[in-house]
Copies of this chain bind each other. A is one copy, B any other.
Amino acid sequence: MSTSVVETSPAPAENAEAKPGHGLREGAFGNATALACRECGHQVDLGPFYACPECFGPLEVAYAFPTVTRAEIEAGPRNIWRYKALLPVPTDIETSPNTEPGFTRLLEATNLAATLGLEKLWVKDDSTNPTNSFKDRVVACALSAARELGSRVFACPSTGNLANAVAAAGARAGIKTVVFIPSNLETPKVVNSAVFTDSLVAVEGNYDDVNKLASEIAGEEDGWAFVNVNVRPFYAEGSKTLGYEIAEQLGWRLPDQVVIPVASGSQLTKVDKAFQELITLGLVEDKPYKIFGAQATGCSPVSAAFKDGKKVVRPVKPDTIAKSLAIGNPADGPYVLDVCRRTGGVVEDISDDEVREAIVLLARTEGIFTETAGGTTVGVLKKLVETGQLDTSLETVVINTGHGLKTLDAVADRVAPAATIAPTYAAFAATGLA
Protein backbone atom coordinates (compact mmCIF):
# COMPACT_ATOMS: atom_id res chain seq x y z
CA MET A 1 0.00 0.00 0.00
CA SER A 2 1.13 3.54 -0.65
CA THR A 3 0.23 6.21 1.87
CA SER A 4 -1.95 8.46 -0.25
CA VAL A 5 -5.25 8.83 1.50
CA VAL A 6 -8.58 8.28 -0.21
CA GLU A 7 -11.56 9.63 1.67
CA THR A 8 -14.77 7.66 1.81
CA SER A 9 -18.10 8.32 3.45
CA PRO A 10 -18.69 8.88 6.27
CA ALA A 11 -16.16 11.68 5.91
CA PRO A 12 -13.03 11.01 7.96
CA ALA A 13 -12.23 13.22 10.91
CA GLU A 14 -10.20 16.33 10.17
CA ASN A 15 -7.40 14.68 12.03
CA ALA A 16 -7.40 11.43 10.09
CA GLU A 17 -4.82 9.65 12.23
CA ALA A 18 -6.04 6.75 14.31
CA LYS A 19 -6.84 7.88 17.82
CA PRO A 20 -6.60 4.77 19.93
CA GLY A 21 -8.23 5.14 23.32
CA HIS A 22 -8.58 2.55 26.10
CA GLY A 23 -5.00 1.31 25.83
CA LEU A 24 -5.47 -0.01 22.30
CA ARG A 25 -2.37 -1.21 20.50
CA GLU A 26 -1.25 0.72 17.42
CA GLY A 27 -3.22 -0.38 14.37
CA ALA A 28 -5.76 -2.35 16.41
CA PHE A 29 -8.49 -1.30 14.00
CA GLY A 30 -6.44 -0.98 10.83
CA ASN A 31 -7.37 2.02 8.74
CA ALA A 32 -10.40 2.88 10.87
CA THR A 33 -10.11 6.32 12.47
CA ALA A 34 -13.20 6.84 14.60
CA LEU A 35 -16.82 5.93 15.17
CA ALA A 36 -19.04 8.46 13.43
CA CYS A 37 -22.75 9.04 14.08
CA ARG A 38 -24.85 8.28 11.01
CA GLU A 39 -27.35 10.95 12.01
CA CYS A 40 -25.36 13.97 13.22
CA GLY A 41 -21.81 13.12 12.12
CA HIS A 42 -20.38 13.48 15.64
CA GLN A 43 -17.27 11.33 16.10
CA VAL A 44 -16.04 9.35 19.09
CA ASP A 45 -12.89 7.32 19.64
CA LEU A 46 -12.82 3.72 18.49
CA GLY A 47 -14.13 1.57 21.34
CA PRO A 48 -17.08 -0.54 22.55
CA PHE A 49 -19.64 2.14 21.73
CA TYR A 50 -22.70 1.95 19.52
CA ALA A 51 -24.83 5.05 20.22
CA CYS A 52 -23.92 8.68 19.63
CA PRO A 53 -23.45 10.55 22.92
CA GLU A 54 -24.93 13.66 21.27
CA CYS A 55 -28.06 12.42 19.52
CA PHE A 56 -28.26 8.66 20.28
CA GLY A 57 -27.94 7.91 16.55
CA PRO A 58 -26.13 4.72 15.48
CA LEU A 59 -22.35 4.84 15.26
CA GLU A 60 -20.54 3.59 12.18
CA VAL A 61 -16.83 2.97 11.53
CA ALA A 62 -15.06 5.80 9.66
CA TYR A 63 -11.78 5.23 7.80
CA ALA A 64 -8.87 6.97 6.17
CA PHE A 65 -8.03 4.47 3.46
CA PRO A 66 -4.61 4.38 1.82
CA THR A 67 -4.38 3.42 -1.83
CA VAL A 68 -5.41 -0.22 -2.16
CA THR A 69 -4.80 -2.18 -5.35
CA ARG A 70 -6.53 -5.17 -6.89
CA ALA A 71 -3.20 -7.00 -6.91
CA GLU A 72 -2.77 -6.53 -3.15
CA ILE A 73 -6.23 -7.92 -2.52
CA GLU A 74 -5.78 -10.83 -4.94
CA ALA A 75 -2.53 -11.80 -3.22
CA GLY A 76 -4.34 -12.10 0.13
CA PRO A 77 -5.87 -15.15 1.79
CA ARG A 78 -8.90 -16.84 0.23
CA ASN A 79 -11.28 -15.51 2.88
CA ILE A 80 -12.59 -12.13 4.05
CA TRP A 81 -9.15 -11.07 5.28
CA ARG A 82 -8.07 -10.38 1.69
CA TYR A 83 -10.05 -7.15 2.28
CA LYS A 84 -8.47 -6.42 5.65
CA ALA A 85 -7.30 -2.97 4.52
CA LEU A 86 -10.98 -2.03 4.18
CA LEU A 87 -12.10 -3.47 7.54
CA PRO A 88 -11.62 -2.32 11.16
CA VAL A 89 -9.07 -5.06 11.86
CA PRO A 90 -5.29 -5.14 12.38
CA THR A 91 -2.92 -5.94 9.53
CA ASP A 92 -2.00 -9.30 11.13
CA ILE A 93 -5.64 -10.38 11.50
CA GLU A 94 -5.23 -13.60 9.51
CA THR A 95 -2.72 -14.94 12.06
CA SER A 96 -5.26 -14.84 14.92
CA PRO A 97 -7.40 -17.97 15.20
CA ASN A 98 -10.72 -17.39 13.46
CA THR A 99 -13.12 -19.43 11.33
CA GLU A 100 -11.71 -18.00 8.07
CA PRO A 101 -15.08 -17.20 6.52
CA GLY A 102 -15.95 -15.74 3.16
CA PHE A 103 -14.88 -15.94 -0.45
CA THR A 104 -17.91 -18.14 -1.00
CA ARG A 105 -19.16 -19.23 -4.41
CA LEU A 106 -20.60 -16.76 -6.89
CA LEU A 107 -22.49 -19.14 -9.16
CA GLU A 108 -23.92 -18.20 -12.51
CA ALA A 109 -27.55 -19.30 -12.30
CA THR A 110 -28.38 -20.11 -15.89
CA ASN A 111 -31.32 -22.39 -15.12
CA LEU A 112 -32.97 -20.05 -12.64
CA ALA A 113 -32.40 -17.12 -15.02
CA ALA A 114 -34.10 -19.02 -17.84
CA THR A 115 -37.01 -19.99 -15.60
CA LEU A 116 -37.57 -16.41 -14.45
CA GLY A 117 -36.81 -14.81 -17.82
CA LEU A 118 -33.61 -13.01 -16.81
CA GLU A 119 -30.68 -12.56 -19.17
CA LYS A 120 -27.86 -12.85 -16.64
CA LEU A 121 -28.21 -13.95 -13.02
CA TRP A 122 -25.73 -14.90 -10.28
CA VAL A 123 -26.26 -16.41 -6.84
CA LYS A 124 -23.83 -15.31 -4.13
CA ASP A 125 -23.97 -18.43 -1.95
CA ASP A 126 -23.13 -17.78 1.70
CA SER A 127 -24.58 -21.12 2.83
CA THR A 128 -21.10 -22.62 2.45
CA ASN A 129 -19.56 -20.40 5.12
CA PRO A 130 -18.04 -22.19 8.17
CA THR A 131 -21.33 -22.28 10.12
CA ASN A 132 -23.42 -22.02 6.98
CA SER A 133 -24.59 -18.44 7.02
CA PHE A 134 -23.28 -14.95 6.30
CA LYS A 135 -23.10 -14.39 10.09
CA ASP A 136 -19.59 -15.89 10.08
CA ARG A 137 -18.41 -12.73 8.29
CA VAL A 138 -19.75 -10.25 10.81
CA VAL A 139 -18.83 -12.40 13.80
CA ALA A 140 -15.21 -12.63 12.58
CA CYS A 141 -15.01 -8.82 12.61
CA ALA A 142 -16.68 -8.65 16.04
CA LEU A 143 -14.20 -11.23 17.34
CA SER A 144 -11.28 -9.10 16.19
CA ALA A 145 -12.79 -6.08 17.98
CA ALA A 146 -13.35 -8.12 21.15
CA ARG A 147 -9.74 -9.27 21.05
CA GLU A 148 -8.32 -5.79 20.47
CA LEU A 149 -10.54 -4.30 23.18
CA GLY A 150 -9.30 -6.92 25.63
CA SER A 151 -12.78 -8.35 26.19
CA ARG A 152 -13.06 -11.30 28.59
CA VAL A 153 -16.29 -12.69 27.20
CA PHE A 154 -17.65 -13.04 23.66
CA ALA A 155 -21.44 -13.10 23.66
CA CYS A 156 -24.72 -12.66 21.81
CA PRO A 157 -28.47 -13.02 22.07
CA SER A 158 -29.78 -15.05 19.13
CA THR A 159 -32.31 -17.55 17.90
CA GLY A 160 -30.18 -19.29 15.33
CA ASN A 161 -27.52 -18.42 12.78
CA LEU A 162 -25.81 -15.82 14.96
CA ALA A 163 -25.65 -18.19 17.94
CA ASN A 164 -23.99 -20.85 15.75
CA ALA A 165 -21.45 -18.40 14.38
CA VAL A 166 -20.55 -16.85 17.75
CA ALA A 167 -20.26 -20.19 19.54
CA ALA A 168 -18.03 -21.65 16.81
CA ALA A 169 -15.81 -18.58 16.44
CA GLY A 170 -15.42 -18.28 20.21
CA ALA A 171 -14.43 -21.93 20.53
CA ARG A 172 -11.79 -21.61 17.86
CA ALA A 173 -10.45 -18.35 19.30
CA GLY A 174 -10.24 -19.86 22.78
CA ILE A 175 -12.24 -16.98 24.31
CA LYS A 176 -14.97 -17.56 26.86
CA THR A 177 -18.25 -17.51 24.95
CA VAL A 178 -21.75 -17.07 26.39
CA VAL A 179 -24.69 -17.41 24.03
CA PHE A 180 -28.26 -16.55 25.03
CA ILE A 181 -31.23 -18.20 23.32
CA PRO A 182 -34.97 -18.42 23.99
CA SER A 183 -35.70 -21.58 26.02
CA ASN A 184 -38.38 -22.81 23.60
CA LEU A 185 -36.06 -23.25 20.61
CA GLU A 186 -36.20 -26.41 18.50
CA THR A 187 -33.65 -29.09 19.48
CA PRO A 188 -31.59 -28.91 16.24
CA LYS A 189 -30.94 -25.19 16.73
CA VAL A 190 -29.97 -25.78 20.36
CA VAL A 191 -27.60 -28.63 19.45
CA ASN A 192 -25.99 -26.59 16.68
CA SER A 193 -24.86 -24.03 19.27
CA ALA A 194 -24.45 -26.21 22.37
CA VAL A 195 -21.98 -28.43 20.55
CA PHE A 196 -19.53 -25.51 20.49
CA THR A 197 -19.90 -24.04 24.00
CA ASP A 198 -20.58 -25.14 27.56
CA SER A 199 -21.97 -21.68 28.32
CA LEU A 200 -25.21 -21.73 26.35
CA VAL A 201 -27.95 -20.05 28.39
CA ALA A 202 -31.63 -20.72 27.72
CA VAL A 203 -33.81 -17.77 28.71
CA GLU A 204 -37.50 -18.15 29.58
CA GLY A 205 -39.08 -15.72 27.16
CA ASN A 206 -39.09 -14.73 23.52
CA TYR A 207 -36.25 -13.21 21.51
CA ASP A 208 -37.11 -9.69 22.66
CA ASP A 209 -36.71 -10.79 26.29
CA VAL A 210 -33.35 -12.39 25.48
CA ASN A 211 -32.20 -9.27 23.68
CA LYS A 212 -33.22 -7.03 26.58
CA LEU A 213 -31.33 -9.25 29.02
CA ALA A 214 -28.23 -9.02 26.80
CA SER A 215 -28.32 -5.22 26.87
CA GLU A 216 -28.70 -5.33 30.66
CA ILE A 217 -25.67 -7.61 31.04
CA ALA A 218 -23.65 -5.45 28.64
CA GLY A 219 -24.40 -2.52 30.95
CA GLU A 220 -23.65 -4.35 34.21
CA GLU A 221 -20.56 -6.39 33.33
CA ASP A 222 -17.13 -5.14 32.33
CA GLY A 223 -15.23 -6.85 29.54
CA TRP A 224 -18.15 -8.39 27.71
CA ALA A 225 -18.26 -8.01 23.94
CA PHE A 226 -21.84 -8.57 22.78
CA VAL A 227 -21.36 -8.87 19.03
CA ASN A 228 -24.65 -7.24 18.07
CA VAL A 229 -24.83 -4.77 20.95
CA ASN A 230 -21.70 -2.97 22.18
CA VAL A 231 -19.35 -3.98 19.35
CA ARG A 232 -22.06 -3.73 16.71
CA PRO A 233 -20.29 -1.02 14.63
CA PHE A 234 -17.31 -3.36 14.08
CA TYR A 235 -19.52 -6.41 13.63
CA ALA A 236 -21.69 -4.76 10.98
CA GLU A 237 -18.67 -3.87 8.83
CA GLY A 238 -18.19 -7.58 8.09
CA SER A 239 -21.16 -7.50 5.71
CA LYS A 240 -19.21 -5.20 3.40
CA THR A 241 -17.17 -8.23 2.35
CA LEU A 242 -20.22 -9.61 0.52
CA GLY A 243 -20.12 -6.53 -1.70
CA TYR A 244 -16.35 -6.69 -2.21
CA GLU A 245 -16.51 -10.36 -3.17
CA ILE A 246 -19.36 -9.91 -5.64
CA ALA A 247 -17.37 -7.19 -7.41
CA GLU A 248 -14.08 -9.09 -7.39
CA GLN A 249 -15.68 -12.35 -8.50
CA LEU A 250 -17.39 -10.56 -11.40
CA GLY A 251 -13.90 -9.51 -12.52
CA TRP A 252 -13.72 -6.23 -10.60
CA ARG A 253 -16.96 -4.67 -11.74
CA LEU A 254 -20.33 -3.93 -10.17
CA PRO A 255 -23.52 -5.76 -11.16
CA ASP A 256 -26.51 -3.78 -12.39
CA GLN A 257 -28.98 -5.08 -9.82
CA VAL A 258 -28.64 -6.83 -6.44
CA VAL A 259 -31.43 -8.42 -4.38
CA ILE A 260 -30.69 -8.63 -0.64
CA PRO A 261 -32.75 -9.85 2.33
CA VAL A 262 -33.70 -7.32 4.99
CA ALA A 263 -33.75 -8.24 8.70
CA SER A 264 -32.13 -5.36 10.62
CA GLY A 265 -31.27 -3.95 7.19
CA SER A 266 -27.57 -3.75 8.00
CA GLN A 267 -26.42 -6.20 5.30
CA LEU A 268 -28.14 -4.27 2.52
CA THR A 269 -26.69 -0.93 3.59
CA LYS A 270 -23.20 -2.43 3.96
CA VAL A 271 -23.22 -3.93 0.46
CA ASP A 272 -24.02 -0.45 -0.81
CA LYS A 273 -21.24 0.99 1.36
CA ALA A 274 -18.83 -1.60 -0.08
CA PHE A 275 -19.74 -0.69 -3.67
CA GLN A 276 -19.27 3.02 -2.89
CA GLU A 277 -15.87 2.36 -1.30
CA LEU A 278 -14.72 0.30 -4.29
CA ILE A 279 -15.71 3.14 -6.61
CA THR A 280 -14.00 5.78 -4.45
CA LEU A 281 -10.85 3.70 -4.23
CA GLY A 282 -10.81 3.21 -7.99
CA LEU A 283 -11.05 -0.56 -7.68
CA VAL A 284 -14.15 -0.71 -9.90
CA GLU A 285 -15.54 1.62 -12.54
CA ASP A 286 -18.26 3.98 -11.34
CA LYS A 287 -21.61 2.96 -12.80
CA PRO A 288 -25.26 2.96 -11.79
CA TYR A 289 -26.56 -0.04 -9.82
CA LYS A 290 -29.90 -0.74 -8.17
CA ILE A 291 -30.31 -2.38 -4.78
CA PHE A 292 -33.51 -4.24 -3.94
CA GLY A 293 -34.63 -5.31 -0.45
CA ALA A 294 -36.52 -8.55 0.28
CA GLN A 295 -38.85 -9.24 3.23
CA ALA A 296 -41.46 -11.81 4.15
CA THR A 297 -44.93 -10.28 4.31
CA GLY A 298 -45.30 -11.53 7.89
CA CYS A 299 -42.50 -9.17 8.90
CA SER A 300 -42.34 -6.45 6.26
CA PRO A 301 -42.10 -3.09 8.03
CA VAL A 302 -39.47 -1.78 5.62
CA SER A 303 -41.37 -2.93 2.53
CA ALA A 304 -44.52 -1.30 3.92
CA ALA A 305 -42.71 1.98 4.56
CA PHE A 306 -41.20 1.88 1.07
CA LYS A 307 -44.58 1.39 -0.56
CA ASP A 308 -46.14 4.13 1.58
CA GLY A 309 -43.40 6.56 0.62
CA LYS A 310 -42.43 6.95 4.31
CA LYS A 311 -38.97 7.78 5.64
CA VAL A 312 -39.46 6.04 8.96
CA VAL A 313 -40.32 2.41 9.65
CA ARG A 314 -43.29 1.51 11.84
CA PRO A 315 -42.48 -1.55 14.03
CA VAL A 316 -44.51 -4.74 13.58
CA LYS A 317 -44.95 -7.99 15.48
CA PRO A 318 -43.33 -10.67 13.28
CA ASP A 319 -45.34 -13.68 12.10
CA THR A 320 -43.43 -15.54 9.39
CA ILE A 321 -41.50 -18.76 8.81
CA ALA A 322 -38.51 -16.61 7.77
CA LYS A 323 -37.37 -16.38 11.40
CA SER A 324 -33.87 -15.15 10.64
CA LEU A 325 -35.51 -12.11 9.01
CA ALA A 326 -38.13 -11.64 11.74
CA ILE A 327 -36.99 -8.33 13.22
CA GLY A 328 -40.10 -6.23 13.79
CA ASN A 329 -38.20 -3.02 14.54
CA PRO A 330 -35.21 -3.05 12.17
CA ALA A 331 -32.44 -0.69 13.30
CA ASP A 332 -31.29 0.09 9.76
CA GLY A 333 -34.76 0.27 8.23
CA PRO A 334 -34.57 4.00 7.37
CA TYR A 335 -31.14 3.55 5.79
CA VAL A 336 -32.46 0.68 3.65
CA LEU A 337 -35.18 3.01 2.39
CA ASP A 338 -32.51 5.61 1.58
CA VAL A 339 -30.29 3.17 -0.33
CA CYS A 340 -33.08 1.57 -2.35
CA ARG A 341 -34.59 4.96 -3.26
CA ARG A 342 -31.22 6.51 -4.09
CA THR A 343 -30.18 3.64 -6.37
CA GLY A 344 -33.56 3.17 -8.03
CA GLY A 345 -34.36 -0.17 -6.40
CA VAL A 346 -37.40 -1.11 -4.34
CA VAL A 347 -38.28 -3.11 -1.22
CA GLU A 348 -40.77 -5.90 -1.82
CA ASP A 349 -42.30 -8.72 0.24
CA ILE A 350 -43.83 -12.16 -0.36
CA SER A 351 -45.99 -14.66 1.54
CA ASP A 352 -44.66 -17.64 3.49
CA ASP A 353 -46.05 -19.94 0.80
CA GLU A 354 -44.05 -18.07 -1.81
CA VAL A 355 -40.97 -18.41 0.43
CA ARG A 356 -41.42 -22.21 0.50
CA GLU A 357 -41.96 -22.34 -3.27
CA ALA A 358 -38.81 -20.32 -3.86
CA ILE A 359 -36.67 -22.63 -1.69
CA VAL A 360 -37.69 -25.56 -3.91
CA LEU A 361 -37.28 -23.46 -7.08
CA LEU A 362 -33.67 -22.58 -6.22
CA ALA A 363 -32.87 -26.19 -5.25
CA ARG A 364 -34.38 -27.67 -8.41
CA THR A 365 -32.77 -25.18 -10.78
CA GLU A 366 -29.32 -24.60 -9.23
CA GLY A 367 -28.71 -27.34 -6.66
CA ILE A 368 -28.57 -24.88 -3.76
CA PHE A 369 -30.58 -25.64 -0.63
CA THR A 370 -31.33 -22.32 1.05
CA GLU A 371 -32.99 -21.46 4.33
CA THR A 372 -36.17 -19.40 4.56
CA ALA A 373 -34.23 -16.11 4.32
CA GLY A 374 -32.81 -17.19 0.95
CA GLY A 375 -36.26 -18.39 -0.09
CA THR A 376 -37.55 -14.93 0.68
CA THR A 377 -34.85 -13.31 -1.44
CA VAL A 378 -35.28 -15.61 -4.43
CA GLY A 379 -39.09 -15.35 -4.14
CA VAL A 380 -38.89 -11.56 -4.09
CA LEU A 381 -36.62 -11.67 -7.15
CA LYS A 382 -39.33 -13.68 -8.91
CA LYS A 383 -42.01 -11.20 -7.87
CA LEU A 384 -39.88 -8.24 -8.97
CA VAL A 385 -39.58 -9.80 -12.43
CA GLU A 386 -43.27 -10.66 -12.65
CA THR A 387 -44.30 -7.15 -11.64
CA GLY A 388 -41.84 -5.46 -13.96
CA GLN A 389 -39.95 -3.77 -11.11
CA LEU A 390 -36.65 -5.40 -12.10
CA ASP A 391 -35.08 -5.02 -15.55
CA THR A 392 -34.65 -8.53 -16.96
CA SER A 393 -32.04 -7.35 -19.46
CA LEU A 394 -29.66 -6.20 -16.71
CA GLU A 395 -27.10 -8.35 -14.87
CA THR A 396 -28.50 -9.33 -11.50
CA VAL A 397 -27.07 -10.87 -8.29
CA VAL A 398 -29.22 -12.50 -5.61
CA ILE A 399 -27.70 -13.19 -2.18
CA ASN A 400 -28.31 -16.53 -0.42
CA THR A 401 -27.50 -15.89 3.23
CA GLY A 402 -27.95 -19.31 4.83
CA HIS A 403 -28.44 -23.07 4.61
CA GLY A 404 -31.66 -25.05 4.23
CA LEU A 405 -30.50 -27.71 6.69
CA LYS A 406 -31.24 -25.14 9.42
CA THR A 407 -34.87 -24.65 8.40
CA LEU A 408 -35.79 -28.11 7.10
CA ASP A 409 -39.37 -27.90 8.38
CA ALA A 410 -40.18 -25.16 5.89
CA VAL A 411 -40.18 -27.63 3.01
CA ALA A 412 -40.50 -31.00 4.77
CA ASP A 413 -44.14 -31.36 3.70
CA ARG A 414 -43.58 -30.07 0.15
CA VAL A 415 -40.95 -32.46 -1.16
CA ALA A 416 -41.05 -36.26 -1.05
CA PRO A 417 -40.01 -39.38 -2.95
CA ALA A 418 -41.73 -39.75 -6.31
CA ALA A 419 -42.41 -43.41 -5.56
CA THR A 420 -41.88 -46.10 -2.94
CA ILE A 421 -41.16 -49.44 -4.55
CA ALA A 422 -40.15 -53.04 -3.92
CA PRO A 423 -36.43 -53.64 -4.57
CA THR A 424 -36.91 -55.11 -8.07
CA TYR A 425 -36.30 -53.88 -11.58
CA ALA A 426 -39.90 -54.66 -12.51
CA ALA A 427 -41.15 -52.42 -9.70
CA PHE A 428 -38.89 -49.64 -10.86
CA ALA A 429 -39.87 -50.01 -14.52
CA ALA A 430 -43.52 -49.65 -13.49
CA THR A 431 -42.87 -46.18 -12.03
CA GLY A 432 -42.29 -44.67 -15.46
CA LEU A 433 -39.14 -42.92 -14.17
CA ALA A 434 -36.82 -44.77 -16.56
Q: Which residues from chain A sit less than 8 Å from chain B, CB to CB?
A: 78-79, 97, 99-100, 103, 105, 107-108, 110-111, 125, 128-132, 153, 167-174, 178, 181, 183, 187-188, 190-192, 194-205, 209-210, 212-213, 216-217, 220-221, 359-360, 363-369, 403-406, 408, 411-412, 415-425, 428, 431, 433-434
Most buried by B among A108, A167, A418: A418
Known: A168-B363, A213-B425, A213-B428. 5 other contacts (CB 8 A): A78-B103, A111-B174, A132-B132, A168-B369, A188-B405
Chain A interface main SS type: mixed
Task: Please indicate the chain B residues that have their CB under 8 angstroms from the CB of A171 in the complex.
Answer: 111, 363-367
List B contacts of A217 (CB < 8 A). 425, 428, 434
Q: How far is the CA of A199 from the CA of B360 in the complex (A)?
A: 14
8 tightest A-B contacts by CB?
A168-B367, A172-B367, A194-B415, A209-B423, A202-B417, A202-B420, A205-B423, A171-B367
Residue contact A187 to B421, C-beta cutoff 8 Å? no
**Residue among B100, B128, B415 making CB contact with A129, cutoff 8 Å:** B128
User: A411 near B178 (CB under 8 angstroms)?
Assistant: no
Number of copies: 2
- Whether A404 lies near B195 (C-beta < 8 A) is yes
Pick the contact of A196: B130, B195, B363, B408 (CB < 8 A).
B363
- Find out whether the CB atom of A369 lies under 8 angstroms from the CB atom of B418: no
Query: In the complex, what's the smallest C-beta–C-beta distance from A420 to chain B, in angstroms?
Result: 4
Smallest CB separation, A396 vs chain B (Å): 18
Return the chain B residue nearest A188 by Cβ: B408
- Indicate if the CB atoms of B416 and A213 lie closer than 8 Å: no
- Choice from B168, B405, B420, B425 contacting A405 with Cβ under 8 Å: B405
B residues in contact with A434, CB < 8 Å:
153, 217, 221
In the complex the two chains form, is A212's CB within 8 Å of B416's CB?
no
In Å, the complex CA distance between A202 and B417 comes to: 6
Establish whether residues A187 and B128, one from each chain, have CB atoms under 8 Å apart when the complex forms: no
**Assembled-state Cα–Cα distance A171/B359 (Å):** 13
Query: Is A408 touching B191 in the complex (CB atoms < 8 A)?
Result: yes
